[in-house]
Structure 1
Amino acid sequence: MTYYYNGFPQSDRNEKLDMVNVEELEERVKDVMPEGAYYYIASGSENEWTWRNNTAAFNHYQIVPRALTDMDNPSTETEFMGMKLKTPIMISPIACHGIAHKDAEIATQQGAAAAGALFSSSTYANKSVEEIAAAAPEAPRFFQLYLSKDWEFNRMVFDAIKKAGYKGIFLTVDALISGYREANLRTNFTYPVPLDFFTRYLGGKGEGQSVAQMYASSAQKIGPADVRRIKEESGLPVFVKGVMCAEDAYLAMGAGADGIYVTNHGGREVDTAPATIDVLPEIAAAVDHRVPIIFDSGVRRGSHIFKALAMGADLVGIGRPYLYGLALGGAKGVESVIDELNEELIINMQLTGCKTIEDVKHAKISNIRYTADNLPSNTDPTRREAYPKTAENQIKVEADADATSGASKH
């Protein structure tokens, strides 16, 4: 079934997803999502070099397997800022989940809560922070802030998120204006569904606006004093989101930031910026465990999560994959994406002798710069050619074989 908002089709699915990996959802989601909405998610800025290399650069680092570890049954449970989580995977903030599903951020929060993951919602969310909180009252959540030029707007946001039980703020500092997103220009994308905070404060502003127009209402000038002011006026922990070098980590901590969020906005802002995994070691060394580190951009595998944790992150965010899961399966689709990545992470933990997430943070990672690629496996449907069928290569099923598996009952 499909729900329509002023003619814009929204998925209303709520079902577990069958997948081999989360990357395959990017192609499948085209069946349920309009072209402009799809490319709003599945694209980067300019030539998309950073967008592609965020994922490819994980191949610069290798997980060193360990043997004779005398260990089994790894656990992905972890603790973060006093919150007990079932997984180190976090739902990174993305605007306008309504382009993927009619229940928007409500369904995303429900899926994250079912998987035991930290959820974060955007200033540009479709659903209200009150509705999101009511969907999973006991679940932990953070709020991503696009600081407004209008401090009355900011104070309205602070008041609302505190009353709704949000545990902290991610202050976005890497998207003061929109990157040059050519896919959005080619499809004339504008936000098709109302954004709650703009509706309640400005009477509907947001729907029908482009990404660049929305960013224009945010502050283009943010400095250390703003971090201090947000902490003071909100009374909540503040992470600085968009740190890509040691110098900015020092600035953020000097301003009193409670945490560092390493991200390049998924390759949607400065094209040819380095991949986040390549800058993580420098930032982790600068932070030196004084505050927590969150990491995202380009994460598509459990091995990516393992590497980020081993190289200094405390939580690892995912973005595009969960929106594809949301469109294809609603809350259960989001849960399916987290579960798939968790399953891959657990395999890597077992094969490296890491019983806990804390063990992963001390795992051995090598840095041998192979001429690496980022191609899918040879069995991936996008690469695999039809396998020849001949009289000599076909398996003959015994008459009394199991009908489902093909295995002999003997």
Structure 2
Amino acid sequence: MILILRSLVRGRFLLMTIGFGIIIAAVLVGSALLAGTPQATLGSKIIPSPSTAPAGPPQRYILAEGSSADDVADQLEELGIIRSAAQFKILASLLGLQNRLVSGVYTLQPGDSTISILRRITVVGEVVPTIRITFPEGLRIEEMAEIAQQAGFGPAEEFIAAAREVELPLTLGVGLPEGVGNEGYLFPDTYIVPLGSSAAELVALMAETLHLRFSADLREAAARQGLTPHEVLTLASIVEREVAIAEERAVVAGIFFNRLEAFDRLGADATVQYCIATDLSSVEAYGWWKPGSDLTLGDLDCDSPYNTRRYTGMPPGPIASPGLASIAAVVYAEDTQYYYYVVDTRANDNSHCFAVTFEEHDDPNRCEKINQ
């Protein structure tokens, strides 16, 4: 691959090898140079002068899954790893690397050239060996740890320990009660990371990805409703476990807000399931989530602040990792008249029937009547 690029390098060619491709940057002194401005042009594009950030100690950088080249450029400039985000963006575009970013945890050296840093964090030439791992929505940390172990990230205990210790981005840590763990703060997604990544690096990437997906716009919309990120994630985790049908998520989120306002009680079976999973004999018999149809009266009385059948208000924190759809459903909950919902056993698709009063909800023929 040969690309002729207008550059500020006077009187010589700049030769850069990238994978199997060669870029020859030819010096073409234009009017911008003659005027002494620190830039040249390529067509209509402005090319910042080749420059590096001041040298400094190596910096740990987390490239979150789904990050754009613009996101990365801005973050690297803010960290002082590169001098110019604009230069990074243009070079990534010119070299066709903007869609070849590899998520992961990197140690980058301030003062290295932009080209060198691009080579580190993108797939160029030879394919970088990677591991692909998928975490479905609605899992506990222990379940995620089992998936990570099966994928080769070491014992499940290492993942669990890393999840407990991971440092959350400040914007997500707002409103996090003291003593509450990081359940719900690892974003469920498909991750492609460099081979040899540790469980701790994977966990850090998942927490950073949550920060990216639970965007500033969503956080601001939540704040306008008086909700902290922690409260949103807590409710979203319950919605994730309670609802399987996408279009029902915002309705159930609205029901939870109605219940909190009217009764100060959520009454969600998913929180009972989370509570009783502290009993390892229950986990051995039913897995981490005992089916709702098997819950007993004793289960419903499980003594934990996470049990919203027994305790008022919201639980101390999330019960699982919610996906983006459930987070958005809480932030943009439907203004509904309903207070109750129950699985429609006739439908065989885990959809629900909704009711305004407990009498409607308690009627054995409720779904037939409601849907008439």
- Check whether TM > 0.5: no
Higher relative contact order (CA 8 A, sep 6+): 1
TM-score, structure 2 normalization? 0.22
TM (normalized to structure 1)?
0.21
- Which protein has the larger Cα radius of gyration, Structure 1 or Structure 2? 2
